[in-house]
Structures are given as structure tokens and as C-alpha cells.
Structure 1
């Protein structure tokens, strides 16, 4: 990709708070404008009658299945060996070897410290999976009706905003990166003043974000530049 001849246009007008607008079923959202980056930071709407719109939790079936199989296999093997010893049979070779190694090696042995570190890392990973919801690609939507939960994929939300942005006069191309807390829009304008294009994009995309119906509307950051000159 060729380097642009003009820097990104990120300056905006004076700081202001936009008008409070309707966002479905009487919910109100305020848009705060930052003069330094022309980024809007929507304030989350009040909770509707449907209840709290929390994030969706991932089932994490693969980690759970792997962990269950490992625990089942290890506990079954150990139980079989203990039962064999109780029946006056010798313990398995792996258990005798492990006991001999643990008896001979000191606690500061690199082998023991490495195994302990791996066990700690696996345990921390499992704890993180247990206490975090996952499914970061899904953006929860407002709950307007009890018992109904919905979410919007981040790529779909980015596509909706991109389609809105390309309809603005003077916009040649648009790239939208939709995160959980911010929507970053990079636009290329081949005519009109950059200030005017950015102001129109702020208005159109701000409206588009409100109409997505998200429980936590992301902030908006718009960057407009000229296309790279050929040759």
C-alpha cells in the first residue's frame, strides 16, 4: 500500500455534547465529542424492561472435554494401580519410577521446577477460562423484552457502518474496525473539504451506532484523509 501524501485529518470542532436523541422504546443516549480526536463516546442507554444485557458466555466445550478426559484417564489409572497394590500385586513401573525420582531429586531441581511451572500455567489458564465470558466477537443488544437476549456480530456491525459511510458525499473508500468499546473508521475522500466529510461521517455513523440497538454503544473515532497520489 502506498503512503498517503497528506496526513490523516483528526481535528474537530470545539468540544460539545450532542443532543439527546431517541434510541427505541424511549431510551436516551448522549454523544460526547472530543475536540482532540473528533471521537464520540456514547453513554450507555438506561436498562429497558427486559433486564440486564450482559455478555454471552462461551461453552468452551473443547477445553472442558480435554480436561475431563485427562482427569478421567489419570484418576482411572491411579485407581487401578492402588487396587492392584491392595491385591498384593506390585505397583506399576511408572509409579515406582516416579516415586524414586521424587525421592532422589531435591526440591530446587530444574526438572521439578519446570513441571511445577507448567502445572501452574495450566491451572491459571483454566481459571481464566472459568471466570471470563469469552465470545468477544458478539456485542450484546438491548433487552427490550423479558426472556429475550440478542447479540450482533462485530463484523456485521462493522459492515453496517461501512455501508452507511460510503453513502456520504465525497467518500471514496472506508475501512471500519469494530471493537467492543470503540468503532474506528478510516475514510478516504477524493473531493470536498475534509472537515465537511468528517462532520457528515460523525453524524451518519453516530446515528448508525444508535440504530444498532447495542446495550453498550461503542465510542466513535473517525479519520479522514486524501487518496495517495499515483506516480
Structure 2
């Protein structure tokens, strides 16, 4: 007769280790989009105010605004396949699609989200800050005269100019320095690195 071994209990003070953990907070930050909202609010406010003024003027016994009467007569006589009607409809559709895209996308592409743990606080780094950190770490590598960094959401391109040492050695050190710098930034989705090394044409 076989007996199953009793389950072992964790030692006091030990912390259970999870096999897989998904880092939260990898989504982009949502933009408040003050400028599009302010422009739309101003357009709606101006249109509503103009229509209310016209309605009040008609109720007071005065004729309606000339532009509204001309527009109503023009729309009543134009066909649906008229060029002006088609252009106006296309512009209205384009504006509507643009507003829907703004409402359904988070925006703030210039802010890269950072990793977080159980703390509900979220943090992010602007691309300019990422480029500055990577550029400072790149010029600290022996042999690098200058460096340019262009950080995107999924990729960071580093272009360094070397004035001494072998290009292969500088490239290896620069790759290691950039990987360490990206890891230390703590980004939720670290960008892919693209490192290019060229020899300086300046002598001396």
C-alpha cells in the first residue's frame, strides 16, 4: 500500500515565489487634449450663440439673418451629387473621424510608461529625457567623440562618432552601456536598440 507524502509547508518568514508575473502599467498615458476640446467648445458656443440670436431676432419680428436665408435657399435647390455638397460632406466626415480617433486613442506618445509594482502610482519618462540619458551614457564610453540619440516608443537609435580605438571595440562597449542604461531607466516596454558607429573625419 502506497501513501502520498504530506505537502511540505514553507519555512517561517519565507516568501512564495510566483512562476510568472505580468508587469502592470504598460499602457500609455491618456492625454487630456485641452486644445481640441477648447476649439470644439468654442465652435459649438459660437454656433449656438449665433443661432439663438437669430431665433430671438425672428421672434421679435425682425427678418432672419441674410446668410441663413441664403444658405437655406441654396441647400434647398442643390442636388445631393453637387460638388459643394460632396465636399462639405467629406469635410464633415473627416472631422468626425478625427474626433473619434482622438476620443478612442490615449495619446501622449512622447511619454514612455515605466514599470511599477503593487503601488498604484504610475510614472513615465519623456522621450527627451530618455535621449538625454542615453546620449550622456554614450559619450562616457571611451573613444566616443559625440553621439546622437533618437528615441521612439519601440526603438532607440544611437549614432556615435569615434575618434580613437577600434570601431569593433567601441561598438561592443557602446552596446553594453546602452543596454545597461535602458535597463536602469525602468521602462515598462524597453525600446529596441539600434547602434551605429562611424569614424570621425577630424584629425588630431
TM > 0.5 fold call: yes
Compare relative contact order (CA 8 Å, sep 6+) and give the higher one, 1 or 2.
1
- Alignment TM class, shorter chain as reference: 0.7 to 0.9
What does 1:1-231 align with in structure 2 at a 5 Å threshold? 47-48=22-23, 51-82=24-55, 85=58, 90-228=63-201
Deviation string, structure 1 residues 5-53 (Cα, Å, up to 9, x no partner): xxxxxxxxxxxxxxxxxxxxx9xxxxxxxxxxxxxxxxxx9534xx433
Deviation string, structure 1 residues 49-102 (Cα, Å, up to 9, x no partner): xx4332111111121011112112223433454465567654332221111101
Name the CA distance, whole Å, in 1 between partners of 2:34 and 2:162: 46
Q: More displaced, 74-83 or 56-65?
A: 74-83
How many residue pairs end up in the alignment? 185
- Which has more helix, going by share of residues? 2
Name the CA distance, whole Å, in 2 between partners of 1:207 and 1:217: 11
Partner secondary structure for residue 71 of structure 2: helix
The answer on whether the counterparts of 2:112 and 2:153 sit within 8 Å (CA) in structure 1 is yes
Partner secondary structure for residue 102 of structure 1: helix
Larger Rg: 2
Shift of 1:154: 0.8
**Relative to 1, partners in 2 of residues 1:187 and 1:46: Cα closer, same or farther, differing over 3 Å?**
farther
Partner secondary structure for residue 53 of structure 1: coil
The answer on whether the counterparts of 2:156 and 2:191 sit within 8 Å (CA) in structure 1 is yes
The answer on whether the counterparts of 2:25 and 2:113 sit within 8 Å (CA) in structure 1 is no
Name the CA distance, whole Å, in 2 between partners of 1:103 and 1:59: 40
Unaligned 5+ segments in structure 2 are 1-16
Name the CA distance, whole Å, in 2 between partners of 1:46 and 1:122: 42
Name the CA distance, whole Å, in 2 between partners of 1:52 and 1:157: 18
Q: Normalization by structure 1: what TM-score?
A: 0.72
Name the CA distance, whole Å, in 2 between partners of 1:55 and 1:217: 13
